[in-house]
């Protein structure tokens, strides 16, 4: 039996190159050979942004458009909005009852976010339970594999622990064990070399115009040891080269050569990268424009997804209640 795949993304704003390279490209490959369920997890966005929740609605439609423009195929995969299937919250509540507080308080991702994010108050009951809802997302569909980034591994570990604990408590294998599927592509860093993120303003968005892409690439940090044009560069220490490796395929050898032999300066090298990126983004942006003309169609796709997801969710919840109250 082919594996069942589930993954989700929070609708917190425009998608950037990091989302595309780090997650979507993986999803698009997986959907060729597996049954996939992809969810726009708006309750997870809400957990962090409950004080400013008004943007979430627009971001949902935008995210669906970006996904489809990148190649997520609604004929093959199920696309739906988490809050439209209330069973996610129902199962999360049940998992919340069986999850020891210590598991959540120890979670490194949680601790890091409390430390890093100072502009929002995340010391809430809901936010501590973020991975519990994530476990519910995955297990509601009995998914066996979850394509995620490395930062999400602790959450997946918790999902496995919750699944096992549930099965153990009620003496029945209701939920499967699930594994992470990590992307093969190296992670793309932001323009300044930090993690690419909207909140650091160091991202190139999938919808950025050619001029914006050029302006962004101009700002990129390069090999700090290459000071003069005549100095040989160290491509492996340069973020620009890391981008080439993702988007320029075999022609990277040319970049390696012109950098290490000091045949081209960094300004030229960056302008060529900008063109490469613009070319890569063009098909996505054209598809995006086309989809934007008919937002009603996107809503229909999400409604079809909701129906399919709901049917599975109802079935799992019936089983869950059956074993709990037997």
Interface positions with ligand TRP (CB under 6 A): 6-10, 41, 44, 134, 137-138, 146, 148, 152, 155
Binding partner of 28, given ligand SF4, ligand TRP, none, CB within 5-8 angstroms per partner class: none
Indicate the residue among 98 and 266 with the shorter CB distance to ligand SF4.
266
User: Rounded to the nearest whole angstrom, what is the least distance from the CB of residue 48 to ligand TRP in the complex?
Assistant: 9
How far apart are the two ends of the chain, measured CA to CA in Å? Answer: 30
Which residues, at least 6 apart from 189, have a Cβ–Cβ distance to it below 8 Å? 195, 196, 239, 242
Indicate the residue among 266 and 312 with the shorter CB distance to ligand SF4.
266
For residues 192 and 24, give the distance between their C-alpha atoms in angstroms, rounded to a whole number: 23
User: Rounded to the nearest whole angstrom, what is the least distance from the CB of residue 74 to ligand SF4 in the complex?
Assistant: 39
Binding partner of 41, given ligand TRP, ligand SF4, none, CB within 5-8 angstroms per partner class: ligand TRP
For 260, the 3-state DSSP assignment is: helix
Binding partner of 13, given ligand TRP, ligand SF4, none, CB within 5-8 angstroms per partner class: none
Site of interaction with ligand SF4 (CB under 6 A): 222-223, 226, 233, 235, 238, 240-241, 255, 259, 264, 266, 269-270
Ranked by CB distance to ligand TRP, the top (closest) residue is 8
| Residue of 117, 107, 95 whose CA lies nearest to 49 | 117
User: Rounded to the nearest whole angstrom, what is the least distance from the CB of residue 145 to ligand SF4 in the complex?
Assistant: 36
Indicate the residue among 9 and 24 with the shorter CB distance to ligand TRP.
9
The answer to whether residues 131 and 164 touch, using CB atoms and an 8 Å cutoff, is: no
User: Rounded to the nearest whole angstrom, what is the least distance from the CB of residue 207 to ligand TRP in the complex?
Assistant: 20
Indicate the residue among 157 and 275 with the shorter CB distance to ligand SF4.
275
Binding partner of 146, given ligand SF4, ligand TRP, none, CB within 5-8 angstroms per partner class: ligand TRP
Indicate the residue among 137 and 208 with the shorter CB distance to ligand TRP.
137
Binding partner of 88, given ligand TRP, ligand SF4, none, CB within 5-8 angstroms per partner class: none
Binding partner of 233, given ligand TRP, ligand SF4, none, CB within 5-8 angstroms per partner class: ligand SF4
User: Rounded to the nearest whole angstrom, what is the least distance from the CB of residue 88 to ligand TRP in the complex?
Assistant: 9
For residues 18 and 178, give the distance between their C-alpha atoms in angstroms, rounded to a whole number: 25
Indicate the residue among 238 and 278 with the shorter CB distance to ligand SF4.
238
> How many angstroms separate the Cα of 246 from the Cα of each of 18, 173, 200, 273?
11, 41, 22, 11
For residues 139 and 134, give the distance between their C-alpha atoms in angstroms, rounded to a whole number: 9
Which residues, at least 6 apart from 202, have a Cβ–Cβ distance to it below 8 Å? 190, 191, 192, 194, 196
User: Rounded to the nearest whole angstrom, what is the least distance from the CB of residue 131 to ligand TRP in the complex?
Assistant: 8
Phi and psi angles of residue 238, each rounded to the nearest 5 degrees, phi first = -115, 130
Q: Which residue is listed with tokens 């492996």?
A: 236
Tokens of 325: 């109250």
Write the secondary structure of 164-190 as one string of H (helix), E (strand) and C (coil): HHHHHHHCCCCCCCCEEECCCCCCCEC
């Amino acid at each position: 039996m082919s594996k069942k795949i589930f993954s989700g993304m929070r609708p917190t704003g425009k998608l950037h190159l990091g989302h595309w390279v780090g997650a979507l490209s993986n999803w698009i490959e997986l959907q060729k050979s597996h049954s996939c369920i992809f969810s726009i997890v708006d309750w997870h966005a809400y957990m962090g942004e409950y004080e400013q929740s008004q943007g979430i609605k627009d971001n949902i439609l935008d995210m669906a458009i970006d996904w489809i423009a990148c190649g997520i195929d609604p004929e093959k995969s199920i696309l739906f909005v988490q809050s439209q299937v209330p069973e996610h919250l129902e199962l999360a509540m049940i998992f919340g009852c069986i999850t020891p507080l210590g598991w959540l308080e120890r979670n490194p991702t949680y601790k890091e976010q409390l430390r890093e994010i100072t502009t929002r108050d995340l010391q809430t009951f809901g936010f501590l339970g973020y991975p519990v809802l994530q476990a519910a997302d995955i297990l509601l569909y009995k998914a066996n594999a979850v394509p995620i980034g490395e930062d999400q591994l602790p959450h997946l570990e918790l999902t496995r622990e919750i699944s096992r604990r549930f099965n153990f408590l009620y003496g029945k294998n209701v939920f499967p064990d699930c594994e992470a599927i990590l992307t093969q592509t190296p992670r793309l860093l932001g323009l300044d070399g930090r993690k690419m993120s909207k909140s650091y303003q160091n991202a190139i968005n999938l919808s950025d115009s050619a001029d914006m892409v050029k302006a962004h690439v101009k700002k990129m940090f390069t090999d700090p040891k290459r000071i003069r044009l005549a100095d040989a560069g160290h491509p492996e220490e340069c973020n620009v080269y890391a981008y080439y490796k993702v988007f320029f395929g075999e022609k990277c050898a040319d970049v390696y050569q012109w950098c290490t032999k000091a045949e081209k300066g960094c300004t030229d090298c960056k302008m060529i990268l900008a063109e490469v990126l613009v070319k890569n983004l063009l098909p996505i942006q054209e598809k995006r424009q086309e989809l934007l003309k008919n937002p009603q169609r996107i809503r229909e796709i999400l409604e079809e997804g909701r129906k399919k997801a709901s049917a599975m969710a109802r079935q799992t919840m019936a089983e869950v209640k059956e074993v709990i109250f037997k």
